[in-house]
Structure 1
Amino acid sequence: MILLYSFLSLSEFVDALKKAESHLKAGLNQLGAGQGELAADDLRLAHLALSEITGEFTADDLLGRIFSSFCIGK
């Protein structure tokens, strides 16, 4: 697998962190208001903002990591 890295300037890094923080705060507020679906979307957007810094990590990647330790039956 070939990994390509891009370099972020400090301002791009800070902007991505601010976006993630904003979405996390909004998600927390939505969760407190009983709006689970909206909270989930804010978490997705926070994840997307953080992926600008860390590189792409998809929901399928996460599920693969979670379920890689389970043996699903014969």
Structure 2
Amino acid sequence: EGLFLARSRHIHALETAQRELDNAALCGNHQLELLAEHLRLAQNACSEITGEFTADDLLGVIFSRFCIGK
């Protein structure tokens, strides 16, 4: 019961995400740019599995709130 089979690329992506989250936790509140980068890398690793959200998607959300050129 509870047997789960995963592809090796999924396992690698999860290991990468965990490593980046661990690195983010070490940054604390002192190095916010580095913290954000580790979180971005963790998100990218998870997206390799889910395919749900990309950096371009994030930029689209951010810039959709701005009125540019008016």
Match of 1:15 among 12, 15, 23: 12
5+ residue gaps, structure 1, are: 1-8, 66-74
Mapped to 2, the partners of 1:52 and 1:59 lie a distance apart of 12
TM-score (normalised: structure 1): 0.63
Question: What is the letter of the counterpart of residue 25 of structure 2?
Answer: L
Mapped to 2, the partners of 1:47 and 1:13 lie a distance apart of 13
Mapped to 1, the partners of 2:54 and 2:34 lie a distance apart of 19
CA RMSD between the two structures? 2.5
TM-score (normalised: structure 2): 0.66
Structure 1 residue 61 displacement after superposition: 3.8
1:32-68 Cα shifts (integer Å, max 9, x gaps): 2611110000000000000100004135645777xxx
User: How many residue pairs end up in the alignment?
Assistant: 63
**Amino-acid identity (%):** 52
Question: What is the letter of the counterpart of residue 35 of structure 1?
Answer: Q
Match of 1:27 among 24, 38, 58: 24
TM superposition outliers: structure 1 runs of 4+ over 3 Å: 59-65
Mapped to 1, the partners of 2:55 and 2:47 lie a distance apart of 12
